[in-house]
Amino acid sequence: MAVLGEVAAITGAGMGIGRAAAVRLARDGAKVALLDRDVAAMDEVAEEIARSGGTAVCVAVDMLDAQAIAGAFARVARDLGPVDVLVNNVGQSARERARPFWEGDPDLWDFTLDICLRSAMVSTRQVVAGMRARGSGRIVNMSSEAAFLATDIIVDYAAAKAGLIGFTRALARSLAPSGITVNAICPGLVRTRVMDQLPEETVRRAVAGIPIGFIADPEDIAAIVSFLASEGSRYITGQSLLANGGKWMI
């Protein structure tokens, strides 16, 4: 499926869903900008894309630094051209530092909110003026099923991902008259590096709770990114698509 426009920028593109989305959008015909702080991981993605005949530019950036984000997108515009598709993928929970809310570290809350929500807002700010001027664009925000499912240990992450859904809906309404769509994907369990580090029994219990009976691969989510980045999704905006094998249905 052809990507709308020529240039796609993906944050957190070094691994997992971000990597799969970058490879897929390059395969769909986009020149891709890879934004991540892990230079070695990005180089591997860029090499994979180049072997398939695609074009990728690696931009090392700390997604917690608003000034660095602005500089990164300025480089993307200089090296590839204006961004037609933005995938706000970067995000992270507290992981091994997660604690019950009443024991949580407010500094860790700030990190989670900044990397999951504020980075998306700052990144979007860099491209939206150009999209409005051209009268087209696609913005895809990576939320999570955690925004819908009650959790007892990642409250800050759930709040950040729910905030991203609110951002998606409000921005979609604001930008619809300009021909720009804004949608969110809310994955459930995805087989990434973090998932691979979990004990087998934990993974087995997780799979048992998924009606479809398996954990998604990053490429499953990348396929949804591909659709939402295409002309075929032109009548879809402000939506939050749960991709969790039927664990939660709305």
Pick the closest to residue 94 from 82, 104, 80, 84 (CA basis). 104
Measured CA angle at 58 (ends 57, 62), to 5 deg: 140
Where does the pLDDT of residue 121 fall: very low under 50, low under 70, confident under 90, or very high at 90 and above?
very high
Residue 248 falls within a domain, yes or no?
Answer: no
Residue 2 falls within a domain, yes or no?
Answer: no
Give the domain extent around 174: 7-243
pLDDT over threshold 70, residue 96 = no
What pLDDT does residue 81 have? Answer: 97
Residue 184 belongs to domain with CATH number: 3.40.50.720
List 111, 148, 157, 167, catalytic entry? 157
- How far apart CA 199 and CA 120 sit, in angstroms, is 32
Mean pLDDT, residues 138-148: 96
- How far apart CA 185 and CA 141 sit, in angstroms, is 6
Contacts of 166 (CB under 8 A, 6+ apart): none
Residue 159 falls within a domain, yes or no?
Answer: yes
- How far apart CA 163 and CA 50 sit, in angstroms, is 36
Mean pLDDT, residues 87-91: 96
Where does the pLDDT of residue 151 fall: very low under 50, low under 70, confident under 90, or very high at 90 and above?
confident
Eight-class DSSP state of 7: E
For the chain, the straight-line distance linking the first and the last C-alpha, in angstroms and rounded, comes to 27
What pLDDT does residue 70 have? Answer: 98
Domains: count for the chain: 1
8 Å CB contact between 156 and 94: yes
Query: Model confidence over 152-210: pLDDT tens digits?
Result: 678 899 999 999 999 999 999 999 999 999 999 999 989 887 777 767 777 788 888 89
Residue 250 falls within a domain, yes or no?
Answer: no
Residue 148 falls within a domain, yes or no?
Answer: yes
Query: Model confidence over 210-243: pLDDT tens digits?
Result: 999 999 999 999 999 999 999 999 999 999 999 9
Q: In what order do the strands lie in the sheet with 85-88?
A: 56-60, 31-36, 7-11, 85-88, 137-142, 180-187, 240-243
CA dist 175 → 4, 191, 201 (Å): 16, 33, 45
Residue percentage of the chain with pLDDT more than 70: 96
Min mean pLDDT across 70-74, 132-136, 173-177, 208-212 is at 208-212
What pLDDT does residue 105 have? Answer: 79
Residue 152 falls within a domain, yes or no?
Answer: yes
Q: Is 157 a residue of the active site?
A: yes
Eight-class DSSP state of 116: I
Query: Model confidence over 16-44: pLDDT tens digits?
Result: 999 999 999 999 999 999 999 999 999 99
